[in-house]
Amino acid sequence: MSKQTVGLSLIDIDAGASCCVPMSEQSIPAETAAVLAPAFKALGDPVRLQLMSMIASAPGGEICVCDLTPAFDLSGPTISHHLKTLREAGLVDAERRRTWVYYRARPGVMRQLATLLNIQPTTDV
């Protein structure tokens, strides 16, 4: 599978994570925003958000596409498209084993997003 080289990708972030201060403490530089926004965007669709939660909460840490698809009133290709979006956002990983494809969450990026959104109660006035 070809992955376009974007200079700094979300996958890289997962490895060398640097951007991990709550946004209430300091504002985000444009480059960081450009890298992280796609992850938020990927979670910005109800179907993908639900898919993500199903994957993240799956017992054993992984779940088969064949268990995801019937949970929605959508065609297989549409679910596949959403899963691809989550994959390209660095939020999930896919692996084929025998007949089925299994998805599992990649906690790295999600943790970064969570840290970013974490707001200190002390900030309140």
Q: In the complex, which residues of this chain contact DNA (CB under 7 A)?
A: 1, 41, 44-45, 47, 64-66, 69, 73-85, 94, 96, 98-101
110 interface partner picked from its own copies, DNA, none, CB below 5 to 8 A per type: its own copies
Nearer to its own copies, 75 or 117 (CB): 117
Sign of CA dihedral 66, 69, 75, 78: negative
CB of 32 closer than 8 Å to CB of 20: no
Task: Return d(Cα 121, Cα 46) in angstroms, integer.
Answer: 28
Least distance from its own copies to the Cβ atom of residue 92, Å: 12
The secondary structure of residue 29, as a DSSP letter, is P
Smaller CB separation from DNA, 6 or 21:
6
CA angle (10 as vertex; 7, 11 as ends), nearest 5: 95
Q: Which CB sits closer to DNA, 78 or 118? A: 78
CB of 24 to its own copies, least distance (A): 5
